[in-house]
Structure 1
Amino acid sequence: MSNLLKVFLLSAVPIVEQRGAIPLGIIGYELTPSKVFLISFLGSMLPVPFILLLFNKIFAWMKKYKFFSGINQFIEKKINKNSAKMEKYKEIGLITFIAIPLPTTGVWTGSAVAAFLKLDFKKSVLCAAIGGLISAVLITIASMFFPALVSY
């Protein structure tokens, strides 16, 4: 598997997303920052439509089974913690939440919150893209100029 494909796929993985894929591509694999930026952004956007369309259905199904209670509680806690901000600021809140490259923020969580709040699909995809671009820029710059700040 090529290193670019690894960066693409890693960008689509929850929690890791661009925060892990971009430093790995630039610092670990020594790929060009522009390629890593683009591939990582595209990879992070891959799950967005699926999350927006399926999150509520899967979450409701999981609630029926005690086996999933731990992860359900984690998800509900995370969504409830961030949903008030999203409801108040809607698109700007969603973009900002996704753009901040910190653990448990990002495209996956932002898209899940948007789905949970039943925000408009097209606006949510656009917000995820804008937030993802901002996040990718910040992480790419940090990986290029401050590699000690990011780990892979």
Structure 2
Amino acid sequence: MFPFTELRVAIPLAIQKFGMSPYEAYFFGVLGNIFPNLFILYALDPVSKFLMKHSKFFNVFFSKLFDKTRTKHSKKFQEYGALFLVLFIAIPLPGSGSWTGSLIAFLFGVAYWRALFLVSLGVMIAGLIITLGFTGAIKFFEWVI
């Protein structure tokens, strides 16, 4: 699974190329999209701390990034953040998937389990949209042709 393709390619490919049912494609696509986020969400904090400790450039970069993000936008994120994060991941647009959602959750300091839940919920909704859209498109073109 690549960061910019995620479910948008996995589900249609599983149905069309590998002959999976839409249910199987959804299940494995969603599972395969959620699984890397267990590690991504876990690793972002230690990696950023390591880089800050060992590099002046990254120390300045992450300090400014965290200060600006968490102080300037934290109030808005506390009010609407969970909904925004789920919708951001759920809408299947390029660059709006679970990897980017995990990064946003990390930047705003969302706790690991809450972030994992929100990212997973967004992935499940996105998977449903893609599965229904793809199977609907197939049915439509079968009807037209």
Fold match (TM-score > 0.5): yes
Matches within 5 A, 1:29-68: 29-59=18-48, 61=50, 64=55
Question: Which residue is equivalent to 1:141?
Answer: 132
- In 1, Cα distance between the equivalents of 2:56 and 2:136? 47
Q: Runs in 1 of length 4+ with deviation above 4 angstroms?
A: 59-63, 83-88
The percentage of counterpart residues that share the same residue type is 29
Equivalent pair of 1:44/1:132 in contact (CA under 8 Å): yes
- In 1, Cα distance between the equivalents of 2:130 and 2:79? 27
Q: Which amino acid aligns with 2:125?
A: I
Q: Secondary structure at the match of 1:29?
A: coil
Q: CA RMSD in A?
A: 2.6
Count, aligned residues: 124
- In 2, Cα distance between the equivalents of 1:14 and 1:117? 20
Unmatched tracts of structure 2, length 5 or more: 139-145
Deviations 1:26-56 (A, max 9, x none): 1222211100000011111111121112113
- In 1, Cα distance between the equivalents of 2:79 and 2:137? 34
Q: Secondary structure at the match of 2:82?
A: helix
Task: Indicate how the Cα distance of structure 1 residues 146 and 92 shifts in structure 2: closer, same or farther if over 3 A, else same.
Answer: same
Looking at CA atoms only, which structure, 1 or 2, has the larger radius of gyration? 2
Give the TM-score, by structure 2 length: 0.73
Given candidates 82, 101, 124, the residue that maps to 1:91 is 82
